[in-house]
Structure 1
Amino acid sequence: MSDKIALATWPTPMEPMPRLAAALGLRQDDLWIKRDDLTGLGGGGNKTRKLEWTVGAALATGADTLVTTGATQSNHARLTAAAGARLGLDVVLVFPGTPDSVANGSGNLVLDSLLGARVFWAGDSDPGSMADVAADVCRQLSRDGARPYLIPFGGSSPLGAQGYVEGGEELRAQLPDVEHVVVAVGSGGTMAGLIGALGEERILGIHCGAVADPAVTVADLANALTHRSINPDSLRIRMDQVGGGYGALNEPVLEAMKTAAATEGIVLDPIYSGRAMAGLIAAIQDGDIRRGRRTVFLHTGGLPGLFGHTETVHRSVTTLQSYKPV
């Protein structure tokens, strides 16, 4: 446990969202937002909590290079690059596809470059084999004289999830009577850590399409973290916001993004936090979250990814063009 390093200033803010609560039919003091988009490092985001543990472990082994995987707009990859820059470590990001296959070289990809990371393009490798490709990259780096350390997809391992045990304890100290915590589920470590701190009954995960079976993924991480035997079927995970797939923009998500922005000035991304907000709205509509119950929305960050999501940018610009000057 002593290998953890500091990469941000804690605690992140806990803020009320009275206008959004009223718009959704809740009491004004029912809905709060935990601002883990404001962690500071590299544009902010939830992955910083995990990286404090995984990068700390890397340094403890004497590593001089961090290697990790993700989609081309990966927030975890961007923050790994930022952590490496802060600590003087090389960073290699293993992405699927080729440079020519990236439709929009903006968003997180721009920041990856600014932060000094190198990208290894894995071509047509199956997404399930990316960890094997990354392991091959580590072996090549070792042959070249580097000392690489492989951080798993999304930073989600029992060690990385420890960051959100701390995050959950921090949240509870700020709002002791919290009954629901709504969070995006990508690689699973954030939800698993929150379960470790707050129990599975309080955590509502919103599946974003990043893994094939989110309940099993989260339960496996939570069990390794807590040394319990949590049944995946006992987890509260909504599966109804994935729509056309991980990278697709779905209408309920766009509407949720617009509602959060228009009522509270909170900007969400279309893959993770936007889906989580759409899931929160759906949970209120079907009665899973009710008026008078203290609820926290965990903002996991991801704003740079919005500008790398072509469909969201296009549809937002189209909306702006329909406005008439006053």
Structure 2
Amino acid sequence: MSEVDFQARDTPIQRADPLARELGLAAGQLWIKRDDRTGLNSGGNKARKLEYLVADALEQGCDTLVTTGAAQSNHVSATAAAARATGMTCVAVLSTLGAQHQAEGNLLLDDLFEIEVVWTSPDQRQAVLAETTRQLSDQGRAPYAIPLGGTNPLGAVGYVTAAEELEHQVPGCIAVCAVGTGGTQAGLTVGLENHERVLGFDVAAVPGLADTVPEVIRDCAERLDRPQPLGTWSVDRSQAQEPYGKPTEATHEAIRLTAQTLGVVLDPVYTGRAMAGLIATSRRATLPDAPIVFVHTGGMPALFTHTYRPWFQVPSEFDPAH
């Protein structure tokens, strides 16, 4: 299977004992897989998927990557970076609920990569993606359509390789991840060959995960001639009660606690919510008795947008009296 190199392999594993102590976990039980350190700038987990998807586009002789996402989509900006890195251009179908057109966060990166944007509503993304791809073909371009989040059986292969790395780094671990469109969870499940070894937290990105993710898992395993994973697919929806991207106090707490115990910055849309879920599960003492690896899937640009500005203030001035 062909791939391109976006520096998405063999990401480091970080022992997280200071955070583990805060959560009442044993020393050596909690780890972080630093997939925020992959290539494509802040692309995080998207780089693993795009290594396979972009290779497929190049094999087909395509010259334009076409994809879709929300206005502050990490996937879209990573796809744009991948396009430029391989001599292609990028067209993105972006959706917004209203006030997301400010030049900040991922939209700044989109501008740097000079993507072409088609604006639509969230419920029309897939239809507009198909229509835009058709229009590009009619114009004589050679488009390659990449689905929302890069989630399909080929994209999920990137996280099968991540699972293989995890098994070498922390044998027998439980992988914890955010679940947006489900491609990361799907690949990890295929790679670890057991649904019980992947704890995914739904971040309310898309509805209908129960219909789409098991299908991606099945088709990805078949594509790689691997056994179907043991058990049954599930996702924890405790962090999906608020709309996608809406600031929550649990997410804010999780981001601050992780930063102040580990010096690691999470994002407010995906990893922050997933860490909030992990913290809540730990406090309920319902985590499995096994090593836990939190998969840090990147995505920091959203943190620097007006949506989350109320969480922060100018650092306090040094007081020599203390």
Q: Does TM, scored on the shorter chain, surpass 0.5? A: yes
- Give the SS at the match of 1:50: helix
Task: Report percent identity of matched pairs.
Answer: 43
**CA offsets, 1:193-249, max 9 Å, x none?**
000011211100000001113233221111111247779x93342101123210211
Return the match for 2:304 from 304, 307, 319. 307
Return the match for 2:269 from 271, 277, 280. 271
Identify unmatched segments of 5+ residues in structure 1: none
Matched residue type, 1:104? Q
1:112 maps to which residue?
A: 110
- Aligned-pair RMSD on alpha carbons? 1.9
Query: Are the equivalent residues in 2 in contact too, given 1:219–1:230 (CA < 8 A)?
Result: no
Cα drift, residue 131 of structure 1 = 1.5
Cα drift, residue 154 of structure 1 = 0.3
Q: Are positions 1:102 and 2:100 aligned together?
A: yes
Q: Give the structure-2-normalised TM-score.
A: 0.92
1:32 maps to which residue?
A: 31
- Give the SS at the match of 1:237: coil
Structure-to-structure mapping, 1:1-326, within 5 angstroms: 1=1, 3-8=2-7, 10-97=9-96, 101-122=99-120, 125=121, 127-178=122-173, 180-198=174-192, 199-227=194-222, 234-289=232-287, 293-308=290-305, 310-317=306-313, 320=314, 323=316, 325-326=318-319
- Give the SS at the match of 1:57: helix
Give 4+ residue runs of structure 1 displaced > 4 Å after superposition: 228-231
**CA offsets, 1:145-177, max 9 Å, x none?**
111110011000001001111111111111113
CA distance in 2, matches of 1:27, 1:101: 44
Query: Are the equivalent residues in 2 in contact too, given 1:269–1:305 (CA < 8 A)?
Result: yes
Matched residue type, 1:200? H
**CA offsets, 1:256-295, max 9 Å, x none?**
11100110011011110001100111111222215x6211
- Give the SS at the match of 1:34: strand
- Give the SS at the match of 1:109: helix
> What is the count of residue pairs matched by the alignment?
314
Matched residue type, 1:153? L
Query: Are the equivalent residues in 1 in contact too, given 2:9–2:162 (CA < 8 A)?
Result: no
Query: Are the equivalent residues in 1 in contact too, given 2:259–2:265 (CA < 8 A)?
Result: yes
Matched residue type, 2:170? L
- Give the SS at the match of 1:41: coil
Matched residue type, 2:178? A
- Give the SS at the match of 1:238: coil
Matched residue type, 1:133? V
CA distance in 1, matches of 2:7, 2:73: 19
Cα drift, residue 94 of structure 1 = 0.7
- Give the SS at the match of 2:92: strand
- Give the SS at the match of 2:33: strand
Matched residue type, 2:261? T
Cα drift, residue 324 of structure 1 = 5.1
